[in-house]
Amino acid sequence: MEEKLYQNIDLPQNNPLKIPEDFPKETKKKPLNPKIILLIALGIFIFILLIASLIVTQIRQQNPNINAIPTIVPITATPTNNDSLIPTQYQEDFKNLEKSFEEDPDLPAPQIDIEVGL
Amino acid sequence: MWLLFFLLFSSPVLAQDSTDLYTQYRTDYFFQRDNYQKDYLDYLNKKDTYAQFGTVTAEKDKITATKNTFLSQNLMLKAYLMALRTTLNDSPENQNKLQQYENWLDTQNQLISNLNSTSGLQTWAHTFRVQFVSIQKELFTGLVQGQINRRLRTLENIKRLAENANVEWSSNYTNKESIVNENFRLALKETQRNQREDRFSEFYPEAKSYLNQADTQLKGMISDLKSTIIKNTK
């Protein structure tokens, strides 16, 4: 065989220890930013809540008895003294007594700038 | 024929009661208040012009505007005191004090008419500033006293009604009555608050809160009286 002059004779010894060259390369995984983890967790939580609320709404629509949630009902004080029960001869007196609370003078006090002329 | 018609259909002239007077003075107060506000705005304009240009004419205008403001201010105050005085028929002492300030304001307006210099007006403004503390004290005391008088009349009417309906003035009523009177005392005590020479220390809101507490008790008394009367008639 005719020797090629440009042939690198050391080529076969490029890997003298015979370390396999096709071993899997170690891929470094970047750790996730904690903020992103938190965002994902929140997103999942909101999604679960959304699903849960949808389910609850559907169940309530199917079963109207569940809709009867105890709500705060404002209790209006029932007047114990019905004015019609007062003897007629005193009704006018009571009206006048109650009206007397509106008789304070409705005169706003004067506002004066005491810096005028100084 | 016309004379007969006039005599038949004309209404007799009646003496004005305090309510009519109050309405009249109240209307007058609002009129005077509008005048004061106009004069005050004019004063502010003239004051600015003088500060900007400093001319003799601008100074004269400012002096005139200041005088007008003082005059309308005093008229407004007097109208207020007069209206307030008509609500104090049960308190002649308060009425007298208010009348004194009305007279003082009248005298001052005569003095102001003769003032023609900035320094003269400044001196008067200082005098007024001190006197206005006393006027405000008397004015708000009058307001408080008038409201106490009104509540005292209500209390008397409750008692009278209880008496007419043969309702015993039991310890329940007596307790509430004493609370009402205590609140009146405290409201009046507020009006006696010491004042500085040139600065008014407001006491009306505090006094008013005591009057409101008295109202609560009075309303409670009325409600109790209603219940008792209804119960007695069953």
Residue B199 included in any domain: yes
Residue B217 included in any domain: yes
User: Do B162 and B68 share a domain, yes or no?
Assistant: no
Q: Band of the pLDDT at B232, cuts 50, 70, 90? A: confident
User: Do B87 and B153 share a domain, yes or no?
Assistant: no
User: Do B166 and B200 share a domain, yes or no?
Assistant: yes
Distance from CA of A78 to the nearest CA of B (A): 13
User: Do B192 and B98 share a domain, yes or no?
Assistant: no
Question: Domain end: B82, B116, B150, which one?
Answer: B116
User: Do B148 and B96 share a domain, yes or no?
Assistant: no
User: Do B153 and B230 share a domain, yes or no?
Assistant: yes
Query: Interhelix angle for B18-53 vs B56-86, to 10°?
Result: 160
Q: Whole-number mean pLDDT of chain B?
A: 89
Residue B62 included in any domain: yes
Question: Domain end: B116, B141, B159, which one?
Answer: B116
B68 versus A75: the higher-pLDDT residue is B68
Residue A108 included in any domain: no
User: What CA–CA distance (Å, rounded) separates B68 from B109?
Assistant: 10
User: Do B108 and B151 share a domain, yes or no?
Assistant: no
In terms of residue numbers, what domain contains A52? Answer: 32-65
Judging contacts by C-beta atoms under 8 Å, the chain A residues touching residue B73 are 112, 116
Half-sphere exposure of A32 (CA within 13 A, CB side): 8
Q: Which residue of A has its CA nearest to B221?
A: A97
| Number of domains composing chain B | 2
Distances (CA, A) of A27 to A21, A24, A30, A32: 16, 9, 9, 15
Residue A72 included in any domain: no
User: What CA–CA distance (Å, rounded) separates B151 from A100?
Assistant: 8
Give the DSSP letter of residue A32: P
Residue position matching structure tokens 């849960």: A52
Question: DSSP alpha helices (H): ranges in chain B?
Answer: 2-9, 18-53, 56-86, 92-113, 118-164, 171-191, 204-233
Residue B124 included in any domain: no
Residue B7 included in any domain: no
User: What CA–CA distance (Å, rounded) separates B190 from A72?
Assistant: 42
User: Do B85 and B161 share a domain, yes or no?
Assistant: no
Residue A58 included in any domain: yes
> Does the pLDDT value for residue A77 go beyond 60?
no
Q: Which residue of A has its CA nearest to B158?
A: A97
Question: What pLDDT, on a 0 to 100 scale, did the predictor assign at position A68?
Answer: 56
Arithmetic mean of pLDDT, B163-190: 91
Of B142, B14, B38, residue with least CA distance to B86: B142
Residue B13 included in any domain: no
Specify the 3-state DSSP secondary structure of A111.
Answer: coil
Q: Do the Cβ atoms of B26 and A107 come closer than 8 Å? A: yes
User: Do B111 and B172 share a domain, yes or no?
Assistant: no
Judging contacts by C-beta atoms under 8 Å, the chain B residues touching residue A114 are 125, 128-129, 132
Distance from CA of A88 to the nearest CA of B (A): 11
pLDDT tens digits along B82-100: 999 999 999 999 999 999 9
User: What CA–CA distance (Å, rounded) separates B161 from B154?
Assistant: 10
Question: What pLDDT, on a 0 to 100 scale, did the predictor assign at position A11?
Answer: 60
pLDDT tens digits along B4-60: 444 444 444 444 567 788 899 999 999 999 999 999 999 999 999 999 998 999 999
In terms of residue numbers, what domain contains B62? Answer: 19-116
pTM across the whole model: 0.69
User: Do B110 and B187 share a domain, yes or no?
Assistant: no
Residue B3 included in any domain: no
Question: What pLDDT, on a 0 to 100 scale, did the predictor assign at position B9?
Answer: 45
User: Do B187 and B160 share a domain, yes or no?
Assistant: yes
Burial class (CB in 10 A: 0-12, 13-18, 19+), B121: buried
Specify the 3-state DSSP secondary structure of B16.
Answer: coil
Residue B184 included in any domain: yes
Residue A57 included in any domain: yes
B14 versus A47: the higher-pLDDT residue is A47
Tell me which residue in B80, B230, B233 faces A110 most closely, judged by beta carbons: B80
ipTM of the complex: 0.76
Residue A81 included in any domain: no
User: Do B27 and B110 share a domain, yes or no?
Assistant: yes
| Number of domains composing chain A | 1
User: What CA–CA distance (Å, rounded) separates A6 from B35?
Assistant: 117
